[in-house]
Structure 1
Amino acid sequence: MLRNTNWKTLAIAALTSILFSACASAGTTFNWDQARSIKAGMTEEEVIEKIGKPYAITAQGQRQVWLYSHANASGVANSISLIMKNGRVFEAPRVPYSFKVD
């Protein structure tokens, strides 16, 4: 039987391991081609089908800003935002060429 001290140490180590593995990748995974396929006029459903649900949504008057962000364990992060109005893409995201992976 484990002593209390060993049990606590094992529990902390297990929890830390779970937390680090959860942090290995955060946000909505998307690639350059998917992000570049988003065009003005697309419906919310079409956007979600192409690149998934947004990481965050904020309101700006009659518009919504949909934020997509993905970071991996090495600290590389890609983010795009698009403007939605009346359930459609009002302004397509600017997708930097640096997102493209050969």
Structure 2
Amino acid sequence: MDERNVYVTDDKDAVTAYDKTSGRAGWRQDKLARRQVTAPLALGAWVVVADGEGVVHVLSAEDGSFVARAKVDSSVRTAPVDIGPGFAVQTAKGSVVAFRLK
């Protein structure tokens, strides 16, 4: 959640931005279907999710487009965590991987 939107992942693994005031859907990113996508983390201009294939995805908070991706050592089942200047994910193998967004 940020000052404008609430971000959610649905049962089809689509990430959607909902306007906090009106409740209307804004953008929807549905290109991650069947990838077991985590709950999203809003970080400034970005929305971060990870998936069951071990890929971390950074989306634009403005329109949901893909900004960056990174592969980690195994699947990620829990939401990314805000760690100040960036975020971290924990993988199924137990690794904790930190990222910094620029």
User: Which structure has more strand as a fraction of its residues?
Assistant: 2
Same fold (TM over 0.5): no
The alignment's TM-score, normalised by the length of structure 2, stands at 0.25
The alignment's TM-score, normalised by the length of structure 1, stands at 0.25
Bigger relative CO (Cα 8 Å, ≥ 6 apart): 1
User: Which structure has more helix as a fraction of its residues?
Assistant: 1
Structure 1 or 2, whichever has the larger Rg, is 1
